[in-house]
Homo-oligomer: A and B are copies of this chain.
Amino acid sequence: MLKKYLIAPGPTPVPEKVLLEMAKPVIHHRTDEFSATFQKVSEGLKKVFNTSQDVLMLAGSGTAAMEAAVINTLNPGDSVLVVNAGKFGQRWRDICKTFGINYSTIDLEWGQSVKPEQVEDYLIAHPEIKAVLLQGSETSTTAYHPVKEIAEIIKHKSDTLFIVDGITSIGVHETLFDEWGIDIAVTGSQKAFMLPPGLSFIALSDKAWKFVEKSTIPRYYLDLRKEKKSQANATTAYTAPLTLINGLAVVLDMFEEEGLSNVYRRHEANANATRAACKALGFKPLADVPSNAATGFYVPEGVEGGKFVKFMRENVGITYAGGQDHLKGKIVRVSHLGYHDAFDTITAISGLEMGFRKFGADITLGAGVAAAEEILIDYIG
């Protein structure tokens, strides 16, 4: 008997009541019934983004929203700066490349976070930069980038956009879209939003909408002008992923009930507990400035990380994430995202303790759990 524990940074477990909502018979999307849900959900998303702007919903994963951000605001030949600090920084770069946008990169070692002054210095030296593209949380390295501080640098430049991939930061770390002065933020359904993959969200500032008017890149499915017009009328331009949006209505009710500050506090407590456990067990952390979405650390000496992750998934039932690219086999990433509570963290750590011991590492069983409990005891109950 193998119970399954999904403790990788996306997709994440979906709450039972959300699954049940999505299992209800499908209704038609051009109806007052669906429009009422759509409207309610639109309002709820604004609260999570902390914006008065429309938060548009797209039937596509987070990458669709990332592409939409680029192709709706930039033009071939534009110069942009990409913070390249991991797999998803590379994705910004690759999207820009695809559409003929001139990208420069600030290349960081995986695990490092960009320093605001690195961006500032670059912009002073290169006033032609039309956009800075960044991850709020770089999922491949579990590092958090200083979104607020970089927004501060860019917010008064009328000809430069600040575009944030918030896929594993929005709903995890409080993100004040309007107040900080973010120009575009995107996120996906399968992370903090506790839904299956297939739905993504994007918000644009007034400044970003001005860029949209001047963008000439051909776009049809991901044309945000059409979506803005449709969604202002409580519907989508093309067929809405309506079961996901019905599920989202339940998720937003859950956020409301828990309180958004408690959602952030929960992620923080589970992240802090996991970091304390890693420290107690002697695992070296990957990120200098860790995200509360997930905790990455180097596997103990002598353990092949890929084999460990496979064994834990197939033989023990726990799905952790391993490393990507040059970190393949070298790290493990433990998620704290979404429908994940204190005992998911305990399970994750207990699994690491027993699993690594099985792989020959020198582990004091219970030491990580004890360190985690010292933190979680103040969070539960």
Taking CB atoms, residues of chain B closer than 8 Å to A353 are: 373
Copies held by the complex:
2
In the assembled complex, A174 has its CB within 8 A of some CB on chain B: no
Interface SS of chain A: helix
In the assembled complex, A176 has its CB within 8 A of some CB on chain B: no
B339 in contact with A343 (CB, 8 Å): no
Cα(A5)–Cα(B366), bound, Å: 21
In the assembled complex, A317 has its CB within 8 A of some CB on chain B: yes
Q: Which of B371, B374, B380 sits near A316, CB closer than 8 Å?
A: B380
How many interface residues does A have (CB within 8 Å)? 42
Q: Which of B346, B370, B380 sits near A346, CB closer than 8 Å?
A: B346
Cα(A3)–Cα(B1), bound, Å: 22
- Choose the segment among A206-214, A287-295, A354-362 that binds chain B (4+ C-beta atoms closer than 8 Å): A354-362
A343 in contact with B3 (CB, 8 Å): yes
Cα(A315)–Cα(B354), bound, Å: 29
Cα(A23)–Cα(B23), bound, Å: 10
B350 in contact with A373 (CB, 8 Å): yes
Cα(A367)–Cα(B366), bound, Å: 7
Given the interface pairs A1-B341, A341-B3, A343-B3, the reply to whether A357 lies near B377 with Cβ below 8 Å is yes
Given the interface pairs A1-B258, A3-B339, A339-B1, the reply to whether A373 lies near B377 with Cβ below 8 Å is no
Nearest B residue (CB) for A374: B365
Nearest B residue (CB) for A380: B316
Q: Which residues in A have some Cβ–Cβ distance to B below 8 Å?
A: 1-3, 5, 23, 254, 258, 262-263, 266, 311-312, 315-318, 339, 341, 343-344, 346-347, 350-351, 353-355, 357-358, 364-367, 369-371, 373-374, 376-377, 380-381
